[in-house]
Chains A and B, each alone.
Chain A
């Protein structure tokens, strides 16, 4: 029954949501609104569950003094401090929570994101090689897009309209970059999106009909 009940709930909910979409009249119409409220409540409780799971895992690691248990202590201290400040003084402007957010969270997250530039530069030097025709194509596209999407690219080729006839104006880097983005890129992205959408639809159908049940531990 531990496995059958979730399958039945998924089936009933899935079918009701499909009917609600096509039949906007009572008793089906408006069911999705009710389910949205259920979802918001479950979402909030899932957050609490997530915090508890995170705490449990980290406390275990600290207790067993795993190699990097210092990081686990930092994580738990941060978690408890933020929750404590938020619950006691609220999250409004100039509250301790706001202070920690503005002076710790913001610079730390920005730093983490900024570090990407350094790793991208290092990787581009060491790993971005024209080993195959596909990689060469990617390299050429990257060259045009990286330069064409910044003012330097415009500056480098802004003389093109003055020197060449109008039918050769496309030689400006920003125009080449925009063409790559608008045509080859969009075509590829559309193919990925349509493929992913079909995949989601088929997986959802499998879940609703109970064919797919790996998520509840069934083989």
Chain B
């Protein structure tokens, strides 16, 4: 993937670039708002990582100017202003995702992957998702594994669907929380793990392949192996 990183803190930028390159992406860096806008409009990127507080032009203004030119490049806003209302402001300004500093590199990479994919014309609107022998009928609210029907709650269905849409990619706990539950909040305990373990129990019939795998220290992934 071709990624533009807009970040004025040199050390943090170096760290992000190292991480993103290591994940196999091409990354360009600029440290200034105006410069970022010029580059983003002239060239084509798969995703932009945008800091909020920048010299010369604020991150949200860059974003607004970019969106005004009908540029739909996925933008991940990165900010030290991590509170919920700031997050809502960022998303309203046209951001596709929002992360508060400090963050874990793995979280950033996981989000980048799903973001860039969101832009690609895939089976987003499809009503049936398939991963290995797992089939999720979104319209009918029916989940079957190897032809056997698995009774799931609505929330469990949403978790499975989110994992299946991002099959092969890592999904972090925060991403699950943001996308499956409709509240912006920080749970004190890792309740998500309990939900996953319950769900895993339900869909892992007998000794079949474990579809939902834990990625240590990062989150989960659904993989057909």
Are A and B physically bound partners?
no
